[in-house]
Copies of this chain bind each other. A is one copy, B any other.
Amino acid sequence: MTVKENLRPGGRSARVQASVHKAVRELLAEMSRTEVTIPLIAGKAGVTPSTIYRRWGDLQQLLADVAVDRLRPDMQPIDAGSGKADLEAWAEQYAEEMSSGPGREMIRDVLAAQAGANACKCAEFTRQQIGLIAERAKARGEAFPDVERVMDQVVAPIMYRILFGDVPDAARVRDLVARVMDAAL
């Protein structure tokens, strides 16, 4: 789905996308995902099914596209006073959100789509958040680990355990953060 990147805000294409995304979100709130179909979405969005097929290819791609949009961070990481405290607060919230029912469904939708572009975008959002925490730490003159190391040692274990059925508790998350921070000193 590279479509949405080049939309002129307010243009026809952007309006169609907004309306279709909204229809999907509303239907997902009303019924189980297995009941959602492209004709239903089209009806609710006021577009023809063929508009949706032309633009998204299939239902799975559309669901992935909507899921990525919802996974886009809507705030800067909290400033908790130090790099370690920032990373801890961020990681605990990340683990909590991603392991929630809606969080898991969004991850599943993103990963289920055949093309990997949406999954990459998700990891990119995460990388940017860690990058912001790292910049803030450096501006304070603190040591902070490399962003890729935080991806490997904090983000990846949280996501792996959520996906493979062993949701990490706050103590485990803090332990992951402590280990990567200690290594950076």
Contact = CB atoms under 8 A, between A and B. Distances in A.
A122 B164 contact: yes
Nearest to A159: B160
Interface of A is mostly: helix
A119 B107 CA distance: 14
B152 A176 contact: yes
A165 B108 contact: no
Contacts of A166: 120, 123
Contacts of A112: 108, 111-112
A156 interface: yes
Contact of A164 (B108, B123, B161, B165): B123
Interface centre among A111, A117, A176 (most CB of B within 10 A): A111
A130 interface: no
Interface in A130-180: 151-153, 155-157, 159-161, 163-166, 176
12 contacts: A108-B111, A116-B165, A119-B163, A119-B165, A120-B165, A123-B160, A123-B165, A152-B157, A152-B160, A152-B176, A156-B156, A159-B163
